[in-house]
Chains A and B, each alone.
Chain A
Amino acid sequence: MPFDPDARLTIDAPTRAQVSGVPLIQQEAFYCGPASIAMVMQWAGADISQQDVAALAFSPGAGGTYLADMIGSSRRLGQLAVEIGDFDQLLAEVAAGHPVIVFQNLGLGVFPVWHYGVVTGYDFAKDEVYLNSGQLDQMVMPFAVFERTWRRGDYWGLVVLPPDQLPVSAAETDVLSAAAALERVDQLEAAEALYETGAAQWPENWLWQFGLGNARYAQGDLRGARQALRRARALDPSIPEIRANLAFVEAEIAS
């Protein structure tokens, strides 16, 4: 039975979409996770191989890559990584021109075969989902088959983007947390870029300027930090955390 967008989606997705320029990488044994991240990052223009990613993500003992390490390695490589969890989000991202990493179970009941692939397009009329799936040929799946394999992966998906771009289907809080996570793994330039991107998208929320101030401070940019924290304070003068950090930065500039 073909995919019925009216019944399955709550968004208006275009009848077909294709993300161009996602390279097909032949995965090395068990490297579907690292290969997926490498494909998405190369699409965004990064010079990175599946081996580079594997060093940060792959667990040899498990013979695979954990979900958490997919997220963590993307962030350690300076990318914005946000999870998605349903068809609405998947198709909205693809329609917006973002490839999406999906977690699938390609096996049968008792014998699961866990796999990561990259969804690069779909076509309702042809009943097809297109994936770069660790082989040199594009993989084409009917929606029903894709749905079955993705459902058994609990509809887990990951949008990985450079920090000057934003996912279209993620909540603001999730993007904020992803930015703070970049700060935490010391990807300070990426964190700064993402806070700036978020501040442009959600200009009324002081947390973006607060994060921007902190990320600049951590890079030794005291005046830049002061400027961002002043903007944060202007957005909400009542927040003690902003005042405390601003005072801290100003004291350091004065000393």
Chain B
Amino acid sequence: MGLMNIGKKSVAVVLSAQLVLATQAVTMAQAEMLGTDAAINKYTALSNRNALMDEMQRADVQAGIIELGIDPAEAEARLAALSDAEISTILTQMERDNAGADIVGTLFTVFIILLVTDLLCLTRIFNFTRCVR
């Protein structure tokens, strides 16, 4: 019961914070033009994160993760816990390891699975992941 209350309370806090932010955005829009820098930071970070999350949903990636005995939901939660900067580092590293060419197929699947096992502290492949354990 107590736990549920805390849960509701934190949801409310998050929601009201979002409301404040939304209101601020509108006010700002009236006061001045919104800057390009901020938009680049916000939306490229967002699309990086979405790109990684999308890859996590691929059937072959999911199958690989399950095969290793890992709960895909937990893997996703770990990925979601990474900062924008860490996500960006991972993507840069991934592009390098894949020769800067189109990232497709097996190589990419392997990369994601290794990344996930790294995040879950099962392996230690990449120096940029942060093992929580």
Contact = CB atoms under 8 A, between A and B. Distances in A.
Whether chain B is bound by chain A comes out as: yes
B40 A177 contact: yes
Interface residue tally on A, bucketed by range: 20 to 34
Contacts of A177: 37, 40
A210 interface: yes
Query: Secondary structure at chain B's binding surface: helix, strand, loop or mixed?
Result: helix
A244 B25 contact: yes
A211 B96 CA distance: 28
Interface of A: 10-11, 86, 88, 169, 171, 173, 176-177, 179-180, 183-184, 207, 210-211, 214-215, 217-218, 239-241, 244-245, 247-249
Given A207-B43, A241-B38, 20 more contacts: A10-B100, A11-B100, A88-B100, A173-B44, A176-B40, A179-B36, A180-B35, A183-B37, A184-B37, A210-B39, A214-B35, A215-B36, A217-B33, A239-B39, A240-B25, A241-B34, A241-B39, A244-B26, A248-B32, A248-B33
Contacts of A183: 36-37
Interface string B6-44: 000000000000000000011011101111111110011
Interface residues of B, number: 22
A88 B100 CA distance: 9
A86 B92 CA distance: 13
B98 to A, nearest CB: 9
Nearest to A183: B36
Contact of A244 (B29, B37, B44, B95): B29
Query: Secondary structure at chain A's binding surface: helix, strand, loop or mixed?
Result: helix
A239 B37 contact: no
B32 to A, nearest CB: 8
Instruction: Choose among B26, B96, B100, B101 the residue with the greatest number of A CB atoms under 10 Å from its CB.
Output: B100
B85 interface: no
Contacts of B25: 240, 244
